[in-house]
A and B are shown apart, each in its own frame.
Chain A
C-alpha cells in the first residue's frame, strides 16, 4: 500500500471580506500518496488555490490539520515552517515569479541560498537541474530575455533544485501557448515518473491527462463523484 505524503483532515478556511465571512474551504479531507500526481480542478472561487496555499504552509487553516510526510505543518513556528518549505516543497507559480534581476542560473540557485552548500556546489546543482528541464544555453540570461516556456522551465528548475519530495504548481501552463503547455506538462509527467509527488491546480482539462488523479472542487468542498468521472475520462484519453 502506497505511503501517504500529504494528509488533510477536515480543512476549513474562513475569510472576512467586505465585512462578510467567506467560507473558502468547508471541510476538505484528502490523502495524497508518495509519487502521486494530482490535478485539482474547479471553477474560480471553488477553493482550489486556498487549498494549495494551505498545503504550501503559507495560509493557516481556520480548522483542521494537514500533515506532510508525517509533520503537522501548522504546529511548526513560522520560521520552522519556512525551513520546512525549503526542504519539502517546491513551488511553481502561475506567472513564473522569477526574480527579474537574477539570471536563470541564479533564480534556480535561490532555494539553495540559505543552505550550507558551497557556491560551486550550488552552481553545479542549478546547472544540472536546468539541463534536466531542457535549458542549457540560457543560464546567464535574465528572465526578460527568456521566452514564456523557458521562464516556466526555469521556475520548474527552481522548484526542484533542492530535491523536495513535493512540488505544488499553480496553473503552470496558464501563460503559455498550447504547444509549450504540452511540453511543460510532459516535463511534469517526467518529474512525476522520477518519483516526485506533484499537486497541480489547473483550469485546463487537457492538463489532467498528464496527472494520475484528478480532484474536483466546488464551493469549498471536494466533489468526489465528478473527480472519479474526470479521472476515468483522463485515463481513457491516454
Chain B
C-alpha cells in the first residue's frame, strides 16, 4: 500500500468525476495539438509553395547606376556597355556546393526585334525552367492535323507536345506546364510562344507564321493572358534568341527558384556571390518576410486560442478536483488522524492529477490529431499533410502533466491545510 494506491483507487471509485477531469484535459490538449498541427502543416505547405513556385532569387549583371526595370526588378540596360551575364555564369551556378537547394535555373535574354508592324520584345530562355519559375503561365496547344487520341502516348490529359509536327493533335485542355506537363514543352528552333497581347497586335494565332528580324518562325502556342510581362513578349529558346539578337553567349537575367527549407539562404547567396563575382544577386526576401509575417500572425492567433482553451481546461480540472476534494473532507480527516502528514495529503492529490493527466495527454493528442487531419483542410480550404508525430505526443503528455499538476496544486494545498478535527467532525 503506497500513496499512489490511494490516488489510483480513488479514481477507480469515482469514475464520473475522473471522466469529467479527463474531458477538461482532453479538450485543452486536443485544442493545442490540433491548432499546432494545422499551423505547422500550413507553414510547411506555404514554404513548399513558396519554394516550388516562382523565382525567389534574381541574378543580373552588376550595372552600377545604369539600369532599367524588368518585372518589377532592376535590370542593367542592355544597350549600355556594362558587364554582361553569359552562359558561363549559368554553368557556374551548377557548380555551387548548395546547388541542391536550387529547384529551377531560368536564364533568359531579353531584346527587341523588328516585325512587319513594329518592334517587339523577344525573350529567349530555357522554356521548361521558365515555366517552372512562372506557374501562372498557361497555354493552349493547337495542331493542324488531329490524330487518333488512342494512339497518342500523351497520357490522361491527351496532350502530346513533343517536337515533330506529325505527332501533334488538337487538344483544348489547358496544360499546367508548371507541374508535370512542363517536360512536354519542347520548342523547335523555328518555333515561338507568343503573349496574348502581342498576338492580337500581330494578328497571329497558333500555327501561324511570323517574321522576326528577318527570320521566319511558327507560332507553337499563344499564352493565355495573365497580366504579366509575358503578355507582350515572344518567347523562344535561348540559343535562338542569342542568334537572332546577335548576342551570342549573352544572358540578361537568371531567375532561380530556391527551396530555403533545404539549407541556409545566406550560405547559398554567399556561394552564388563567389561563383558570379560580377553579378548582382537579389533574394526576394521581402516576399518571404511577408509570408513569414502572415504565418507569425497565424501562429500567434492559434497560440492565443490554444492558451485560452487550455486555461479553461485547467479551470475545469481545478474546479472539479477542488469540488471532489470537498466531498472527501472527512476522508482527509481520517488520513490526518491516523498519521498522514500534510505532505502526504498533498502527494495524494498531486498523484491523482498525474494519473489523469497521462491518459488525458494521450487521448487529447489523438483527438487533436484527428481534428487536424480531418478538420484542418476543411477549415483552411487547403489540402494539408498532418503527420503523426511522436515528439508531439510526448509534448502533449508533458503539457497535460504540467496542467494537471498546476490545477491540482490549489486542491492539494486546500486539502493539506484542513484541520483534521474539523475535517472529521466526529468529536
Contact = CB atoms under 8 A, between A and B. Distances in A.
The answer to whether A binds B is yes
Interface of A: 49-50, 52-53, 56, 58-59, 78-79, 82-87, 91, 93-95, 97, 99-102, 106, 109-114, 119, 122-123, 126, 158, 162, 170
Contacts of A50: 427
Contacts of A79: 341-343
Contacts of B196: none
B5 A106 contact: yes
Nearest to A60: B421
20 contacts: A50-B427, A58-B337, A58-B420, A78-B342, A82-B336, A82-B340, A85-B338, A86-B338, A86-B339, A91-B338, A93-B334, A93-B426, A101-B9, A101-B10, A101-B14, A102-B6, A110-B1, A111-B339, A113-B1, A122-B1
Contacts of B140: none
B334 A82 contact: no
Nearest to A109: B1
Given A82-B336, A101-B14, A158-B338, A113 B2 contact: yes
B134 interface: no
B339 A170 contact: no
Binding site secondary structure of chain B: helix
Q: Which 9 A-B pairs give the minimum distances between C-beta atoms?
A: A86-B339, A101-B13, A109-B1, A53-B427, A49-B427, A85-B339, A58-B421, A111-B338, A101-B9
Contacts of B344: 113-114
Interface string B79-120: 000000000000000000000000000000000000000000
B13 A113 contact: no
A87 B339 contact: yes
Contacts of A94: 426
Contacts of A99: 6, 331, 334
A85 B341 contact: no
B80 to A, nearest CB: 90
Interface string B415-427: 0000011001011
Question: Which one of A49, A58, A78 has the greatest number of beta carbons of chain B within 10 Å?
Answer: A58
A95 B342 CA distance: 24
A79 B345 CA distance: 12
Binding site secondary structure of chain A: helix
B337 A114 contact: no
Nearest to A114: B344
Nearest to A95: B426
A83 B341 contact: yes
Interface of B: 1-3, 5-6, 9-10, 12-14, 330-331, 334-344, 420-421, 424, 426-427
Contacts of B421: 53, 58-59
Contacts of B10: 101
B281 to A, nearest CB: 71
Contact of A114 (B5, B13, B341, B420): B341
A109 B2 CA distance: 9
B1 A91 contact: no
A49 B9 CA distance: 32
Contacts of B5: 106, 113
Contacts of B14: 101
A110 B338 contact: yes
Contact of A101 (B12, B339, B340): B12
B95 to A, nearest CB: 70
Contacts of B340: 82, 86, 113-114
Nearest to A123: B1
B6 A113 contact: yes
B1 A97 contact: no
Contacts of B3: 113-114
A168 to B, nearest CB: 9
Nearest to A51: B427
B351 to A, nearest CB: 12
A47 to B, nearest CB: 10
B427 A100 contact: no
B331 A82 contact: no
Nearest to A85: B339
A85 B337 contact: yes
Question: Which one of B3, B342, B343, B424 has the greatest number of beta carbons of chain A within 10 Å?
Answer: B424
A158 B334 CA distance: 11
A53 B424 CA distance: 10
Contacts of A102: 6, 9
Contact of B1 (A95, A100, A119): A119
Contacts of A119: 1-2
A106 B1 contact: yes
Contact of B9 (A58, A93, A106): A106
A93 B338 CA distance: 11
A47 B9 CA distance: 37
B98 to A, nearest CB: 61
